[in-house]
């Protein structure tokens, strides 16, 4: 695909993806009832075509120094082709498969929650702009037929336009939205005050930071830039519901990371993960009680695994894995989560009981 079309930079890949999706619907649709067309396309396009950290490693100054690429245009061309590939697959599923197979189809986006670093108008706008360049970038075209206003104003001709036919294709809206939500972070404006934009939020002219006046936004985790900020989850699901017509939301990823070089005892006795999960689930529960349309929640992850660019250096699992022997041991969090699902008592009582058992 890279050779034939330039990967996601070529419009020809849309037909290939539509065919691939059709093969999946035909082969697995009698058993698979929940389909997501893409997982975190907003994250992928930034790291692949803005910052050049993922294959095909495209970027250009001031966002990075790669052998090829155009960071001011390529991320948005790739996203455009991904969105139209998504639309083709959704249209096919709803037209030819949904009625007889009885499934539903959606898309999953990565989503931080952004809080203004200060009460300056510029930082308030920066937090809003960061959401536009992360979440609305992919969801607004699906629901409203075009990219968000903030992106149009900043990117101008670098942001592709949808033809009338493409807008019509986009009208088959998703049945649900998945969000992978781990953290909240502060947003500082980079338009009024210069700052480093070789970052994930740099194309929005935003600098993300976990610290305000020397105080962290939440307890840091092993994953750089990810903090334990449970209230951000409630804000995130509320925001998605309110902006996108109360469409059902699934929290398709949420979890806590540990450094792999910790002792096995510390890795298994993961009280930090228990507190994290309890906080985020409480936040989701609060949102639901206030009317949020959240249909499901998935912990990332069941077992320690290969974490993409981070390899085996960080662990998200409820079960500890010895990567040499493949032996799996339930962590404190696995026992707590099992008790939570069974309706056990408060988290503090459970942790103390688990410590006593061990």
Radius of gyration of the chain (CA): 21
Contacts of 236 (CB under 8 A, 6+ apart): 111, 113, 179, 181
* C-alpha torsion sign, points 265, 266, 267, 272: positive
Residue 136: which H helix or E strand, with range?
A: none
Please choose, from the candidates 22, 2, 23, 24, the residue with its C-alpha nearest in 3D space to the C-alpha of residue 13.
Answer: 2
Phi/psi of residue 132, each to 5°? -60, -45
Residue 327: which H helix or E strand, with range?
A: none
Cross-strand bridge partners of residue 212? 215
Residue 28: which H helix or E strand, with range?
A: helix 13-28
Contacts of 271 (CB under 8 A, 6+ apart): 332, 351
Residue 253 among the catalytic residues? yes
Instruction: Identify the active-site residue in 40, 74, 136, 234.
Output: 40
Instruction: Identify the active-site residue in 150, 201, 234, 253.
Output: 253
Strands 249-253 and 328-330: unpaired
Q: How long, in residues, is the chain?
A: 358
Please choose, from the candidates 254, 202, 251, the residue with its C-alpha nearest in 3D space to the C-alpha of residue 223.
Answer: 254
Distance CA(230)–CA(222), nearest Å, equals 16
Please choose, from the candidates 188, 174, 299, the residue with its C-alpha nearest in 3D space to the C-alpha of residue 233.
Answer: 299
DSSP at 310: G
Residue 40 among the catalytic residues? yes
CB 221 within 8 A of CB 113: no
Catalogue the active-site residues: 40, 253
């Amino acid at each position: 695909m890279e050779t034939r079309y330039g990967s996601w930079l070529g419009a020809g890949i849309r037909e290939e993806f539509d065919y691939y999706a059709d093969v999946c619907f035909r082969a697995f649709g009698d058993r698979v009832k929940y389909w997501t067309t893409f997982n975190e396309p907003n994250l992928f396009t930034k790291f692949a075509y803005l910052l050049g950290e993922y294959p095909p490693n495209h970027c250009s100054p001031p966002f990075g120094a790669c052998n090829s690429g155009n960071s001011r245009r390529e991320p948005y061309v790739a996203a455009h082709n991904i969105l139209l590939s998504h639309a083709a697959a959704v249209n096919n599923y709803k037209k030819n498969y949904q009625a007889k197979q009885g499934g539903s189809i959606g898309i999953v986006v990565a989503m931080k929650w952004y809080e203004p670093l200060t009460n300056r108008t510029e930082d308030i706008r920066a937090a809003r702009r960061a959401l536009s360049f992360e979440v609305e970038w992919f969801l607004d075209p699906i629901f409203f037929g075009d990219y968000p206003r903030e992106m149009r104003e900043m990117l101008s001709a670098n942001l592709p336009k949808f033809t009338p036919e493409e807008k019509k294709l986009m009208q088959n809206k998703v049945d649900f939205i998945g969000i992978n939500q781990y953290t909240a972070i502060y947003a500082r404006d980079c338009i009024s005050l210069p700052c480093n934009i070789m970052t994930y939020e740099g194309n929005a002219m935003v600098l993300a930071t976990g610290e305000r006046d020397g105080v962290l936004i939440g307890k840091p985790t092993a994953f750089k830039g990810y903090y334990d900020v449970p209230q951000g989850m409630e804000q995130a699901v509320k925001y998605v519901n309110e902006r996108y017509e109360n469409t059902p939301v699934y929290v398709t990823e949420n979890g806590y990371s540990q450094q792999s070089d910790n002792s096995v005892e510390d890795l298994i006795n993961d009280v930090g993960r228990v507190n994290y999960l309890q906080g985020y689930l409480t936040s989701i529960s609060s949102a639901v009680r206030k009317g949020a349309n959240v249909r499901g929640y998935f912990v990332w992850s069941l077992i320690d695994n290969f974490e993409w660019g981070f390899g085996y250096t960080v662990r998200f699992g409820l079960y500890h894995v010895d990567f040499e022997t493949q032996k799996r041991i339930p962590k404190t969090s696995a026992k707590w989560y099992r008790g939570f699902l069974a309706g056990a008592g408060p988290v503090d009582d459970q942790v103390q009981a688990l410590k006593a058992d061990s």
